[in-house]
């Protein structure tokens, strides 16, 4: 047997949320709701479905390898030049590409404790080590400690904003602190804004603007959340043309599939769907906050489409009991949170069912 490197053998694979079919089968239920993966509860946009149906007769062809028409639509939508963006098979692929390209094997990335897991998995797969800095007691990112931990070994700093699973965000002043620190150093600052459409905080940074002043800033966005395309996979990356040029050289020729190109072009035009997505999330968050306050449970105010809360007991047990009632949540033991759970915002009736079951169990 071929010798496999320890960093691969020790990889902890990403554990996705339990699927509805799995729970139906294992628990003999028909009525199952999934509030475990921060998906869009509205279902797909009708405009997106029409666009996909229209392009189905073309799927025997390869997609346009340069995805010219997609870039042509995305660039004005995001207000950037076409040579400042690239696309990936979800932002996960872009995270992987950034690490593979800009971090030499043996170098490191710098992250905060309890960050989104993809950075760690991709780094280890590329033989890049990970420095994880302790978070603050309130679960927020400790920017000063993070910057103190930086050494020239660290080729990239990954900051999910807001963070998943906590939902907490880094404000504009703290992002500027990181960018000023990193300026003129040999390090990339990668800000992962998967939930940007749901931000309500007034002091959230305008990173696409900041890129004009900070050339080592990379911004990641996704179509998986507010645009409802999680199953089709499309991530978008914004950076200096030099950085984009290198990513374009390394990425697989057809990393963005033919159907998602048409779907994404339709999705960004469906303003009504995006505002309905925002409304369902904002109303749902406020509903959860109210319910958790009533139940006396600690929660983190969220800038995403999910809430991190503390059950005060073994969350795996609560998770199991909720499954038996047909509600899938995300326990966070593998993030180092033994009593906390993440709940995604669903439709109003799904949120109500989840809270009703939780109340009965607790
Ligand atoms: C959901 C999420 C993503 C999206 O990943 P895709 O690969 O685009 O589906 C990226 N970053 C964070 C922090 C997320 O929570």
The model's pLDDT over 178-205, given as tens digits with 9 standing for 90+, comes to 999 999 999 999 999 999 999 999 999 9
- Residue among 16, 91, 199 whose CB has most ligand 1 atoms within 8 A, to mutate: 91
Q: Pseudo-torsion of CA 259, 263, 266, 270, nearest 10°?
A: 160
How many residues in the chain?
Answer: 362
Return d(Cα 190, Cα 95) in angstroms, integer.
9
User: Does pLDDT of 17 surpass 80?
Assistant: no
Tens-place pLDDT, residues 201-247: 999 999 999 999 999 999 999 999 999 999 999 999 999 999 999 99
pLDDT attached to residue 221: 98
Are 278 and 84 in contact, with CB atoms under 8 Å apart? no
| Measured distance CA(16)–CA(210) in Å, rounded | 33
What is the pTM for the complete model shown?
Answer: 0.96
> Do the Cβ atoms of 7 and 124 come closer than 8 Å?
yes
pLDDT single digits (tens) 61-82: 999 999 999 999 999 999 999 9
Q: How far apart are CA 38 and CA 109, in angstroms?
A: 26
For the cut 90, the answer to whether the pLDDT of residue 130 exceeds it is: yes
Ligand 1 pocket: which of 16, 38, 92, 226 to mutate (most atoms within 8 A of CB): 92
| Atom 10 of ligand 1, residue of closest alpha carbon | 194
Answer yes or no: are the C-beta atoms of 104 and 127 closer than 8 Å.
no
- Cβ proximity of 218 and 95 under 8 Å: no
The answer to whether 128 touches 103, Cβ cutoff 8 Å, is yes
């Amino acid at each position: 047997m071929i010798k496999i490197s320890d960093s691969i053998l020790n990889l902890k694979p990403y554990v996705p949320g339990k699927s509805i079919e799995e729970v139906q089968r294992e628990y003999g239920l028909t009525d199952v709701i999934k509030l475990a993966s921060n998906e869009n509860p509205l279902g797909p946009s009708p405009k997106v479905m029409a666009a996909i149906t229209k392009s189905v007769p073309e799927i025997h062809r390869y997609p346009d390898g340069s995805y010219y028409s997609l870039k042509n639509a995305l660039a004005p939508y995001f207000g950037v030049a076409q040579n400042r963006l690239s696309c990936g098979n979800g932002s996960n692929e872009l995270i992987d590409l950034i690490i593979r390209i800009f971090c030499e094997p043996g170098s490191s990335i710098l992250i905060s404790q309890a960050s989104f897991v993809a950075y760690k998995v991709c780094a280890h797969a590329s033989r890049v080590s990970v420095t994880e800095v302790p978070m603050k007691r309130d679960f927020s990112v400790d920017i000063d400690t993070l910057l103190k931990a930086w050494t020239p070994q660290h080729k990239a700093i990954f900051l999910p904003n807001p963070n998943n699973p906590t939902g907490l965000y880094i404000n504009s002043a703290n992002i500027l602190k990181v960018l000023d620190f990193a300026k003129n150093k040999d390090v990339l600052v990668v800000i992962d804004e998967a939930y940007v459409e749901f931000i309500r905080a007034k002091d959230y940074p305008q990173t696409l603007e900041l890129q004009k002043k900070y050339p080592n800033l990379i911004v990641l966005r996704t179509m998986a959340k507010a645009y409802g395309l999680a199953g089709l996979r499309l991530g978008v990356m914004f950076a200096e043309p030099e950085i984009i040029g290198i990513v374009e050289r390394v990425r697989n020729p057809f990393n963005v599939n033919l159907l998602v190109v048409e779907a994404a072009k339709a999705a960004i035009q469906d303003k009504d769907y995006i505002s309905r997505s925002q409304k369902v999330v904002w109303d749902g968050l406020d509903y959860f906050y109210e319910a958790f306050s009533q139940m006396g449970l600690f929660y983190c105010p969220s800038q995403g489409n999910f809430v991190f809360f503390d059950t005060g007991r073994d969350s795996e047990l609560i998770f199991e009991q909720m499954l038996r009632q047909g509600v899938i949540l995300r326990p966070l033991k593998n993030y180092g949170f033994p009593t906390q759970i993440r709940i995604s915002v669903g439709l109003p009736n799904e949120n109500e069912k989840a809270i009703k079951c939780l109340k009965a169990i607790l």
